[in-house]
Chains A and B, each alone.
Chain A
Amino acid sequence: MEKFDKITSVAAPLPLINVDTDMIIPARFLKTIKRTGLGADLFSTLRFNEDGSDREDFVLNMPAYKDAEVLVTGENFGCGSSREHAPWALMDFGIKCVIAPSFADIFYNNSFKNGMLLIKLPPEDMDKLMDDAERGANATVTVDLEAQEITGPDGGLIKFEIDAFKKHCLLNGLDDIGLTLQKNDKIDDYEERQKAAQPW
């Protein structure tokens, strides 16, 4: 997994609530057996016209936001399916950080496991960031995970909270499976105990 420490980028505003995983990547694009290449179909319905051409009014199609690595959006982002294709598509497109008032649980977990940082902020901070984001190309933000700070375009600082373990894994690019396998003895013990108590 790639490490995440600090990024500076324009932030793309997507002021929608309940953005579901079918909006992020519709089911018809889930037929891949790989993790890469899904960025091409990210937000497919919002991003493209029926004939496949770009919808000019969609934020990630606008020249100012094409290379955005940060997405600023509304509450309950990522609700719906457990498909990890949603964070894969975002990451493959180049989004490394999503900032919202709240996220759906499964999406939240999936994102961290792929090295993407999700930040939850209270409404007043969200309003400020959304306003900044809407200013376009000149409004870059810096997200510093170590310091747990977002620096706005005019130098304003926003602090954010994050679970210490998630932060540690992200900063060091740690793979959960490797960490868990170090506890193999404990898993063996558990299995022994369970077998004795519940032989069915």
Chain B
Amino acid sequence: MSEAKTLYDKIWDAHIVDEQDDGTCLVYIDRHLVHEVTSPQAFEGLRNSGRKVRRTDLTLAVADHNVPTTDRSAGIEDEESRIQVEALEKNCAEFDVELYSMDDIRQGICHVVGPEQGFTLPGTTLVCGDSHTATHGAFGSMSFGIGTSEVEHVLATQTLLLTKCRNMRVTVNGALPLGITAKDLILAVIGKIGTAGGTGAAIEFAGEAFQSLSMEGRMTVCNMTIEGGARVGMFAPDETTFEYLKGRPKSPKGGAWEMAVEYWKTLKTDEGAVFDEEIVMQAADIKPQVTWGTSPEDVTTIDGQVPNPADESDENRRNKMERSLEYMDLEAGTPMKDIKIDTAFIGSCTNSRLEDMRAAAAVAKGRKVADGVRALVVPGSGLIKELAEQEGLDQIFIEAGFEWREAGCSMCLAMNADKLAPGERSASTSNRNFEGRQGPGGRTHLVSPAMAAAAAITGHLTDVSDLD
């Protein structure tokens, strides 16, 4: 009789090519996404050793980090950015890898593009030289970020040497209260477990609050799993998953689709499977979340206050808090709602999908961006941009005074021209509030799309339900 397995165990077991005596496994990789920042040195390595890409049919490339989000007809102005994007184009041509170029409507953030094209499928192993690859776990795939040496390893061998993660489950029981989003859920989880709480773990998200999320919401949750230190975040695939994937360009077709769905339905944790760690939370306790510091675990609720380092007993943590508050230029005890912002950023692989655009537009509709606030909306892909425009969302944003941009990573990490100036403060739907993440000296508060839009309207951090 076989033992009860978790979802992660099942996918892991199905991909072992070889196991070494010490438990390290050679694991087969089904899908590989490639972008311009972490791949040039990997292709260079292949070239130097005369190796080829083993499975070009399982590899998909797209430039996202460096691309301008304004008019692209003139190319990329910044020379280094341009060289990196050109290097990707050249490498893909040389090694015969499919690439969505900058003027292709399918171009966008790799973690938005993969699912949108049906490249991401349940039960697969999927990697990319980018930590937010965890996003794809929303489909019940084992997806994780890798470094450039591993990118080269996958290109050359379609495998990786891995040790198995421990199994962890985060269950949020009960229905999500009205107005609470996937972003609030995952920020609350990170606030609870800390940025290292998931280290070495594959997290399965379970419970009514998670299961009721759309695919977009599930992607937001899995996307930020890495912010809790975990390598992998996953949802068991269900009807919501199948419905999203049906008919996508790279999804299975015809009889193969039926066969695939049959298999995908088996991808869930068996009754009685044991997790190494279980976290259980109640949806009813979750409120709109916002970060105050320089780590995603530095999170509180919108009706909360900037915490006081003096209340922290651990010396290391107290020092870190003091440093964060100094960097963020915040006083302990300040109500979060009193914090003024200069910029609102709606975008990134966390929150740049159609549902996110709709949530932000619903707040922006008929209102105006506050004086002196810059508000940016950057869709996750060219296709999302098109769909949003068909619904007239672009007009709602533009009329309210938001800038409506082309797809890309943009101000999430400030590698292109979109950045915060030193000292500027943003309400951002991205995933990292690290020092300098959105530009040197920039200060970031992580929030949901509706809250970012609300902050743009009032000029300070705002609870959406306070808007009249």
Q: A-side interface residues toward B, CB under 8 Å?
A: 15-18, 20, 22-23, 26-28, 30-35, 45, 50, 74-76, 79-84, 87, 102, 104-106, 109-110, 113-114, 163-165, 176-177, 179-181, 183-184, 186-187, 190-191, 194, 198-200
Contacts and interface: CB of A to CB of B under 8 A. Distances in A.
Contacts of B159: 180, 187
A187 B158 CA distance: 8
B255 to A, nearest CB: 9
Interface in B102-141: 121, 129-131, 133
B153 A28 contact: no
Contacts of B130: 81-82
Given A102-B196, A105-B199, A200-B259, A114 B18 contact: no
B256 A177 contact: no
Nearest to B84: A31
Interface stretch (B333-341, B357-365, B430-438): B430-438
Contact of B131 (A33, A75, A106, A198): A106
B223 interface: no
A186 B17 contact: yes
Contacts, number: 175
12 contacts: A26-B440, A31-B415, A45-B435, A83-B147, A83-B148, A102-B196, A114-B149, A179-B161, A180-B153, A180-B157, A187-B28, A198-B260
A147 B319 CA distance: 35
Contact of A80 (B157, B434, B440): B434
The winner among A26, A50, A81 for most chain B CB atoms within 10 A is A81
Interface residues of B, number: 73
Contact of B26 (A20, A76, A109, A186): A186
Contacts of A180: 26, 153, 156-157, 159, 161
Contacts of B320: 16-18
B317 interface: yes
Given A26-B436, A180-B153, A200-B121, 8 more contacts: A16-B320, A76-B195, A76-B196, A81-B145, A87-B147, A106-B144, A177-B153, A187-B26
A109 B153 CA distance: 13
Contacts of B129: 82, 84
A190 B27 CA distance: 10
A39 to B, nearest CB: 15
A164 B17 CA distance: 20
A31 B81 contact: yes
Interface in B38-88: 38, 40-41, 44-45, 49, 51, 54, 65-66, 78, 80-81, 83-84, 87
Nearest to A79: B195
B24 A165 contact: yes
B252 interface: yes
Contacts of A76: 195-196, 199, 229
Contact of A177 (B78, B156, B195): B156
B417 to A, nearest CB: 11
B287 interface: no
Interface in B249-277: 252, 256-257, 259-260, 263
Nearest to B441: A50
Contacts of B133: 82
B22 interface: yes
Interface in B156-198: 156-159, 161, 163, 195-196
B20 interface: yes
Contact of A105 (B150, B200, B435): B200
A177 B148 CA distance: 12
Nearest to A111: B147
In the complex, the 9 A-B pairs of residues with the closest C-beta atoms, listed nearest first: A200-B252, A110-B147, A33-B40, A31-B80, A82-B145, A84-B147, A113-B149, A200-B256, A84-B148
Nearest to B297: A18
Contacts of B390: none
B440 A110 contact: no
Contact of A50 (B158, B256, B422): B422
A30 B65 CA distance: 10
Which residue of A82, A83, A106, A187 has the most chain B CB atoms within 10 A of its CB atom? A82
A14 to B, nearest CB: 12
B58 to A, nearest CB: 10
A17 B153 contact: no
A50 B421 CA distance: 13
Interface in B383-438: 413-415, 422, 432, 434-437
Contacts of A32: 80
Contact of B38 (A17, A20, A82, A176): A82
Given A31-B81, A109-B150, A200-B256, A181 B157 contact: yes
Given A28-B440, A187-B28, A176 B196 contact: no
B83 A22 contact: no
B157 A187 contact: yes
Contact of A104 (B45, B199, B413, B422): B199
B152 interface: yes
B234 to A, nearest CB: 16
